[in-house]
A and B are shown apart, each in its own frame.
Chain A
Amino acid sequence: MKYKRDPKRIRQVLGKKVQFILGDMACVYGGLLAGCSFFGGYPITPASEVAEGMARRLPRVGGTYIQMEDEIGSIAAVIGAAWGGAKSMTATSGPGFSLMMENYGFAAMTETPCVIVNVQRTGPSTGQPTLGAQGDMMQARWGTHGDFEAIAFAPSTVQECMDFTIEAFNLSEKYRNPALVMTDGEVGHLRERIIIPEEKDLKLIDRVEATIDKKKFIPFTNSQTRKNCKVPDFPTFGTGYRTYVTGLTHNEKGFPATDKQPDHERLVKRITEKIIDDADKLVSVEKFNLDDAEIAFVTYGASARPTESAMEMGRKNGIKVGMLRLKIVWPVPEKEVHKLAKQVDKIIVPEMNLGQMVHPIREAANGNCEVICAPKIGGEIHYPDEVYKYLEAK
């Protein structure tokens, strides 16, 4: 029988309103609150707790957990479930994320809402399985072949692991695009206090399902029920629309158009523009001490935690430093960064890799100030003084 979200039941299963839990578990809570009813999992450190949490709770709320044979199968099943009408998600880490890349692109091409949590660990290859990193930030944006747009969140706290998983579901449903929660082994394996939001405070977005006359319905074009909306209405399988969904370049009816340039251009422009057009609405940042800042940190995820300390050390020592923390990392808030670059002399980007998000940030700064990377790798979060020393460097 088809899953129906039961808020009372979900809260019964989640338990107390205030809890002290793991970041990975907070992703489970966020998924369940958002109405996730299918999880395709595969064990991988440091993301396994998400699958474990789902395996324990999904059957109790009426959803389905299946441990798939690999990460390729996990994301495939997640996409299949989405077409069957479910909100669905999976969780993985670096090597598994690499394996998911082909079907990640399939989800973008077929406009399938789904959520992937990536609890990043160090790489390349097997790297340091138990330790955190932010080495997949570019892969999230460019890892699958061809042109597409990524939607990705970066939680800095356990509370945000839950909140952003809910938000990732909302945006994936709204834009009919895969959405990512790019957390890492640091935040994923951190225990903090979380507050589970009341049902009335929970804002959930569901995909707009196709409702118009079946003969008039066109599956892969602008919405036929909403004005100026490039996101088509969703013809859930089993509702009689009898839709053909393919990863091949398809025309508006969904039929393969593999040798037709105009069809490809129209399709790929629409699936990217539906997100780019809304870039301003997709800005989600937190600002610290930026009003009079001459130096700014721009950072995200776990790296924001030591960076905040470094900023406070700087302020104590009379340095006019502020911080811009990106909550949504893809799309990059280009206008925000551009404005900031015009105000400050220097932007420093602390991240747990040898320099990834620094590139789009430098592009957004567009030469208006110096943009440098403050890298840290090896499975350790920055120490605040390691970040601080970039403030004093001439």
Chain B
Amino acid sequence: MVEVKTAEELNKKFLREGMWPTIFCNGCGHGVVLEYTFWALEELGWDMDKTMFASGIGCSSRLPGYINADGLHTTHGRAIAFATGIKAADPDFNVIVFTGDGDCAGIGGNHFIHAARRNIDMTVIMINNFIYGMTGGQLAPTAPLGSIATTAPYGNIEHPFDICELAKALGANYVARWPVSHPYQPIKSIKEGLQKKGFSLLEFLAPCPTAYGRRNKLGDIKKHWAWYDDNTILIEDYDKIMKYGSVKEKEEVKDKMQIGVFQDIQKPGFFELYDQLMERLKVEENKKREGKK
């Protein structure tokens, strides 16, 4: 299936001409997530005429602009609701949403919750950089306790949102979180999420050196990536330690962010159930009509 071999060939195939340069800063993680998505799409060999992207507002939401495909760049927080409509117009479309922590977990939280609950067949890729980057570094709902932001100048005192745990609780069919510093697992997870019928969420921890790193002593990319290594733990390892580990080991990992695949199930998606509903109505109506004859 794979036609292209190098990143250059990949970009030529998937990027939209005429949109360069990007708005992204040096060291930004968004381009990395975009490239992982391209590799996943390339491996799946999907028809890009039938694959479309929706996004809200923020740095991550600019990604559809750089993709050579239909893209709907909408209002802040609402991309998932727009995407629900696109999918409804033709359930054969592949619908992918790019969103950020502020867009998805902040202003758009309610749309996220209900699309996951309805199990709408779409893939949401949420890029979490712990900050409102585009507007200049305000506090995000996913920011770790103590984070410095322009609107949390003395350190964040709000508990951060774990969007993967939320999606899991809502019964989303596929939920995974990875830092961008691991290339292979993200590509594999994106592929699995895209292929999944029903709702899938992929959360990526991605650096924002300009708005987050600068204020939180994570100035360059190396430091960001080291932070991910030090502060994340594979779900399987976490579970093992919590079950069998010593008090000290448990204490060490209890505040780490878990990474990996949180959920992988096969609940019927909304449009599958809607099709069944339409079919049932047809059968009932035909019976009624025959009964009248």
Contacts and interface: CB of A to CB of B under 8 A. Distances in A.
Q: Which one of B65, B85, B90, B277 has the highest number of Cβ atoms from chain A below 10 Å of its Cβ?
A: B85
A59 B81 contact: no
A367 interface: no
Contacts of A2: 89-90, 92
Contacts of A77: 81-82, 84-85, 88
B287 interface: no
A64 B114 contact: no
Nearest to A248: B73
A81 interface: yes
Interface string A58-82: 0110101010111011101111111
Contacts of A70: 110
Q: Which one of A74, A82, A242, A248 has the highest number of Cβ atoms from chain B below 10 Å of its Cβ?
A: A242
A1 B85 contact: no
A77 B270 CA distance: 15
Contacts of A73: 78, 81, 84, 110-111, 114
A301 B84 CA distance: 34
Interface of A: 1-3, 37-38, 40, 59-60, 62, 64, 66, 68-70, 72-74, 76-86, 88, 102-103, 106, 235, 237-248, 253, 255-256
Contacts of B111: 69, 72-73, 76
Interface residues on B, range: 35 or more
A88 B86 CA distance: 11
B85 to A, nearest CB: 3
B70 A76 contact: no
A59 B281 contact: yes
A84 B89 contact: yes
A80 B114 contact: no
Given A59-B281, A72-B78, A66 B86 contact: no
B52 interface: yes
A61 B12 CA distance: 43
Interface of B: 16, 18-19, 48-50, 52, 54, 64-65, 68-75, 78, 81-93, 110-111, 113-114, 118, 270, 274, 277-278, 281, 285
Q: Which one of B75, B270, B274 has the highest number of Cβ atoms from chain A below 10 Å of its Cβ?
A: B75
Given A59-B277, A64-B88, A73-B78, 14 more contacts: A59-B274, A60-B285, A66-B88, A68-B114, A69-B81, A77-B85, A79-B74, A83-B72, A84-B88, A235-B70, A243-B71, A245-B72, A255-B65, A256-B65
A253 B19 CA distance: 10
Contacts of B73: 244-248
B269 to A, nearest CB: 13
A73 B90 CA distance: 18
Contact of A242 (B69, B82, B87, B110): B69
A247 B56 CA distance: 10
Nearest to B62: A256
29 contacts: A1-B92, A38-B85, A38-B88, A59-B278, A64-B88, A66-B84, A74-B81, A76-B78, A77-B82, A77-B88, A80-B54, A80-B87, A80-B89, A81-B85, A81-B86, A83-B70, A84-B89, A85-B89, A86-B88, A88-B85, A102-B75, A103-B75, A237-B72, A237-B89, A242-B49, A242-B68, A242-B69, A244-B19, A244-B70
Contact of B72 (A80, A88, A238, A242): A80
A240 B52 CA distance: 10
B16 A76 contact: no
Contacts of B114: 68-69, 73
Contacts of B270: 66
Contacts of B81: 40, 68-69, 72-74, 76-77, 80
A13 B93 CA distance: 28
Q: Which one of B81, B89, B91 has the highest number of Cβ atoms from chain A below 10 Å of its Cβ?
A: B89
**Which 4 A-B pairs rank lowest in CB-CB distance, beginning with the nearest?**
A84-B89, A80-B85, A77-B85, A76-B81
Given A68-B114, A73-B110, A237 B86 contact: yes
Nearest to A61: B278
